[in-house]
Amino acid sequence: MLGLGTVGAGVASILSTPEGRHPLVADLQLRRIAVRDLERPRPLNLAPGLLTTCPEAVVDDPAVDIVVEVIGGLEPARSLILRAIAAGKAVVTANKAVIARHGDEIAAAAAEKGVYVLIEAAVGGGIPIIEPLKQSLGGNRIQRVSGIINGTTNYILSRMAAEGAAYGEVLADAQRLGYAEADPAADVEGGDAADKIAILTRLAYGGTVPRPAIPTEGIHQLDARDVDYAARLGFVVKLLAVAQRVGSEPPKPADTTAAGLQLDVRVHPTLVPRGHPLAGVNGVNNAILVEGDPVGQVMFYGPGAGAGPTASAVVADILNIAGIRQATGGGSGTQGGGLDPLLAAGNWRQCSLVDGALTTHRNYVRLRTSDQAGVIGQIGSCFGQAGVSIQSIVQYAGEGSGAAGEASSAEIVVITHEVLEARFRHALDAIEALAEVHQVAACLRTL
Ligand code: HSE
């Protein structure tokens, strides 16, 4: 095992207590663990000599059949995974950052050597989602994968909604309680969720989309006011990661054009109608809703992070490999025929990200305006002239006092019907140019 942090300790704990688990757990032997600091006190009762500060010593050890990478980060994790594969060893990893960016390179190396690389723990912690997408749902034409796949931000958003608290306040509390990292950027700016949706996209659609090109917006600029207004209008705000086909037509047999299958993949705070299956997912829990033809909607829900849940997924992957090795009498981590967990993860289609201006969706907009006759009419005209249909428009009290000589201000919240992004942007430009509109204060997508 490479790493003995939260997840690594969870894995070691399962492996050292096989009683009551699948009988194969008792056959697994933790041979070596690479750590950064040998002196650090550890609650686990580990055999002397198990720990080393040299990760290469783990990867190169001929007695090691399966390398479990739980260091996280891009390097040295990527190089160590490739080194393990080159040595003919199976790899289990929880590393979404490496798989999202270097999945093709790793899959190609694994295919060449005929070894397994399993990644169930990389998305959704303890929720089984990788194997279901690769195998159980393989016969479907996937229309959309949408999910809450970052527990930290879901915890923050749940508390903002329940308490009406400001983002910064809840983040500080989450850090104090250990739910958010000291450096929360990867979670709150959406990068972690973007890594995960990149991985799910490849499994669902059989093609890679470039991870850096996925439009990503976090929750760090979200105003408690929008969470409140959303609630009044019957929505909850969630950080959603979404991957969907563009257009509802089945793809032509040849997705062989240069662009291939066009996908809309993105991460952003989203207003979710209160009755939607994802709206009730709260706290650090994750949920992924898969919509496929012919299966319909299937939702996967559970603990998306933490030592126990993530270790549960890692150990399941180890057991899969161990089981296949046992069934095939395989040596040195090779597949030996039979079930092929790599097959469905292969790149079998060309995919590309659609131009954002050509996507359609509903929108929530909050405008700060003067509170005077005709303002709502002008805003309505701007939307109407751009071909944007308004579903609802509501005025809330603004901050101005309306004292003598001072025009009072208003906040106007608009929910649009589904519309082409290009039309919506066109309308917003016109609205921003109105003298009575002081600011487009917030703009969020709506399911
Ligand atoms: N930091 C992630 C989250 C867990 O908050 O969901 C690991 O992927």
Domains, the chain, ordered by start: 6-129+307-344 (3.40.50.720), 135-303 (3.30.360.10), 358-446 (3.30.70.260)
The per-residue pLDDT for 395 is: 95
The per-residue pLDDT for 339 is: 39
Question: Of all atoms in ligand 1, which is nearest to the CA of residue 152?
Answer: 5
120: Cβ contacts below 8 Å, ≥ 6 apart? 128, 129, 130, 131, 313, 314, 316, 317
Question: Of all atoms in ligand 1, which is nearest to the CA of residue 186?
Answer: 1
For residue 133, how far is its CA from the centre of ligand 1 (angstroms)? Answer: 20
Q: Give per-residue pLDDT as tens, 246-263.
A: 865 566 655 556 668 999
Who lines ligand 1 at CB under 6 A?
150-152, 187, 192, 304-305
Question: Of all atoms in ligand 1, which is nearest to the CA of residue 122?
Answer: 8
* CA trace torsion 177, 8, 218, 150 (10° rounding): -80
> Which of 431, 304, 301 lies closest to 376 in space, CA to CA?
431
Residue nearest to atom 4 of ligand 1 (CA): 305
In this predicted structure, the answer to whether residue 380 has a pLDDT above a threshold of 50 is yes
- Going by pLDDT thresholds of 50, 70 and 90, the confidence category of residue 338 is very low
Q: Give per-residue pLDDT as tens, 142-168.
A: 999 999 999 999 999 999 999 999 999
For residue 167, how far is its CA from the centre of ligand 1 (angstroms)? Answer: 18
353-358 average pLDDT score: 93
The per-residue pLDDT for 205 is: 93
- Going by pLDDT thresholds of 50, 70 and 90, the confidence category of residue 344 is very low
Reduced to 3 states (helix: H, G, I; strand: E, B; else coil), residue 416 is strand
279: Cβ contacts below 8 Å, ≥ 6 apart? 235, 236, 238, 272, 273
Residue nearest to atom 7 of ligand 1 (CA): 305
Residue nearest to atom 8 of ligand 1 (CA): 305
- Residue in 89, 113, 196, 238 annotated catalytic: 196
Q: Round to whole Å and give the CA distance between 345 and 352.
A: 17
To the nearest whole number, what is the mean pLDDT of the chain?
Answer: 91
- pLDDT above 70 coverage of the chain, percent: 91
179-191 average pLDDT score: 92
Residue nearest to atom 2 of ligand 1 (CA): 150
297-321 average pLDDT score: 96
The per-residue pLDDT for 47 is: 84
378-390 average pLDDT score: 97
Based on the residue annotation, tell me whether 252 is a catalytic residue of this protein. no
- Residue whose tokens read 């005077």: 372
Residues in the chain: 447
- Going 94 to 20 to 288 to 183, the CA torsion angle's sign is negative
Q: Which residue has the higher pLDDT, 179 or 131?
A: 131
For residue 152, how far is its CA from the centre of ligand 1 (angstroms)? Answer: 6
Query: CB-side exposure of 159: number of CA atoms within 13 Å?
Result: 18
